[in-house]
Amino acid sequence: MEQRARLYKSLATAICKPLTDAKSHLTQINRINDATFMEVAQAKHYALFLDTIVPALCKLLDVITKPKLTDKVVGELRSRTLEIFVRLPNKDAKKKHLSAVMQTMKHVLDCDSERNVLLALKVIRTLFSSFSDELTSSASFVFKFIEHVFRS
pLDDT tens track, the chain, 152 positions: 688 889 889 989 999 999 888 899 999 999 888 866 667 766 788 999 999 999 999 999 999 988 876 688 999 999 999 999 999 888 899 999 999 999 999 999 988 998 999 999 999 999 988 998 887 777 777 777 777 766 77
CA atoms within 13 A on the CB side of 42: 5
Q: In what helix (H) or strand (E) does residue 116 lie, and over which residues does it extend?
A: helix 114-131
Position 69 scores a pLDDT of: 66
Position 41 scores a pLDDT of: 66
Let me know: does 128 contact 120? Beta carbons within 8 Å. Answer: no
The type of residue at 34 is: D
The pTM (predicted TM-score) of the whole model is 0.87
Three-class secondary structure of residue 65 per DSSP: coil
Distance CA 120, CA 105 (A): 5
Rg of the chain over all Cα atoms, to the nearest angstrom: 15
Position 19 scores a pLDDT of: 86
